[in-house]
Amino acid sequence: MPSPDVYWLALRRAHGVGPRTCKLLIEKFGAPEKIFQLNADEIAAAGVPRNTARNIAEFRDFESLEKELCELPNIGARVVKWTDADYPPNLRQIADPPPFLFVRGSAQLTDANYIAIVGARAASDIGRRMANRLGLELAAKGFGVVSGLARGIDGEAHQGALDAHGKTIAVLGCGVDVIYPAEHRKLAEAIIESGGAIISELPIGTQPLAENFPTRNRILSGLCLGVVIVEAAEKSGSLITARMALEQDRQVFAVPGSPLSGKTRGSNRLLKEGAKLVECVEDVIEELAPQMTGPRSSASPPEVPAESTPTQLTSNRTAKVEVAPFARATEGAKTLGAVTESAMTILNNLKDSERLHVDSIIESSGLNAQTVLRLLLELELEGRVTQHPGKLFSLA
């Protein structure tokens, strides 16, 4: 007798069965093992095409799927099913949610406050810096950063979140055991080791074929409250993600770029069509504040009770949140006289050295990493501190 999880995999692998059909059948009949006890006529009566219903009723390849499940612990992966309490609440709300996800990493996916950052693979230097900074600032504020592990903007967004000792999730267009591109293997390992996760709906061993990525993008946007496009050409996969985000009733943001650059024509067009303009992290946070689940501090992300039901998780999306924005550079004159004791500790440390690495500042200050990163950002915006390449800081 196959294990219950095998039936979940089997339902999705039956020829002709996609995410919408899975959702339809599970809502109609409950657990997938009950579906496989039905004949083709009974399945078709639920609104499934007869050929597809026959494929489900005649499916017999359970043994190979059992072996696939047994392989998951060997790669540090697990299955999170649509009916599980730890299934992502935002993702459950879309029209075609994956019936299950393969997950590598310890991240709790029930945190609804995720924000995606995506963009060009062949990104400009300034675009990469912007993605890294947005990832760092969002993570320093306690938000989860989601991206696709691709070269360019995606990789920088993940790295920025890691630099803030925050949580980041990579959504793959291949199996969770296949890291693409290969040069991001260390980045993928760092994401897992930092408490983040690598996720995919595709079977282990699936290679990164081009047709996998558009469907992957619906998961990337579906996980999040909003999607930030940093750089996108006119024909870009990031624009597919933006379109899917709009279909899922997610907020779309775009970072403006030079009209002379082909790398940003797509993102600039999004701005013409109504996307929210992003110049700093506050532009994202302030727009999404009404949708966020509960109060948020920069020190730690919100926790969703383990015993929460899917209904409770969904209803939390309407909760209000108070966000303390960073001091803007234009308001620096108003805040120069009000320096906290913690900020003064950082300034005093910087006085003793021409440039200090962020890790040295964290160690010498005695403060936690997220507090130091937040304070450095505020001091930089106030014009007191300058950031240099390599995460080095000095007095301005």
- Residue 149 · residue 179 · CB < 8 Å: yes
Proportion of the chain above pLDDT 90, given as a percent: 63
- Please tell me the predicted confidence (pLDDT) of residue 381: 66
Which CATH number does 104-291 carry? 3.40.50.450
Q: Name the region of 142 (left: φ>0; alpha: ψ -120 to 50; beta: rest).
A: left
Query: Model confidence at 294, in pLDDT bands (50, 70, 90)?
Result: low
pLDDT of residue 217: 94
At 276, which helix (H) or strand (E)?
strand 276-277
pLDDT band at 134 (very low <50, low <70, confident <90, very high): very high
Above 70 in pLDDT, residue 336?
no
The answer, yes or no, to whether residue 283 has pLDDT greater than 90, is: yes
Average pLDDT over residues 262-275: 91
Structure-token match 């979940």, residue found:
8
Quick one: pLDDT at residue 210? 86
DSSP string, 227-250: EEE----SS-HHHHHHHHHHHTT-
The answer to whether the 104-291 and 329-395 domains have the same CATH topology is no
What pLDDT does residue 321 have? 28
Residue 325's SS3 state is coil
Q: Tell me which CATH code domain 1-70 carries.
A: 1.10.150
pLDDT in tens, 162-198: 999 999 999 999 999 999 999 999 999 999 999 999 9
Phi, then psi, of 198 in degrees rounded to 5: -115, 125
Q: What is the pLDDT averaged over residues 3-7?
A: 92
Output the pLDDT for position 329. Answer: 27
Specify the fold of 329-395.
Arc Repressor Mutant, subunit A (1.10.10)
pLDDT above 70 covers a percentage of the chain that reads 87
Domain positions in the chain are: 1-70, 104-291, 329-395
d(CA 177, CA 72) in angstroms, rounded, equals 9
Per-residue pLDDT at 289: 82
| Calculated CA dihedral for residues 22, 25, 28, 31, nearest 10 degrees | -80
Q: pLDDT tens, 42-89?
A: 999 999 999 999 999 999 999 999 999 999 999 999 999 999 999 999
d(CA 374, CA 364): 16
Beta-sheet pairing, 114-118 with 226-229: parallel
Q: Quick check: 302 pLDDT over 60?
A: no
Q: Which residues sit opposite 199 in a β-bridge?
A: 103, 171
Q: Give the pLDDT of residue 88.
A: 95
Distance CA 181, CA 72 (A): 21
Region 344-367 average pLDDT: 80
pLDDT at position 339: 61
- pLDDT value at position 306? 33
Q: Which residue has the higher pLDDT, 87 or 307?
A: 87
The average confidence (pLDDT) of the chain is: 84
Residue 276's beta-bridge partner residues? 253
pLDDT above 80 for 255: yes
Can you give the pTM of this predicted structure?
Answer: 0.74
pLDDT at 313: 26
Closest by Cα among 164, 157, 143, 165 to 291:
143
Task: Give the torsion through C-alpha atoms of 319, 320, 322, 325, to 10 deg.
Answer: 100
Average pLDDT over residues 151-161: 96
Q: C-alpha distances in angstroms, 122 versus 127, 156, 171, 252, 290? A: 10, 12, 19, 21, 34
Q: Which of 4-8, 135-139, 222-226, 299-303 has the lowest mean pLDDT?
A: 299-303
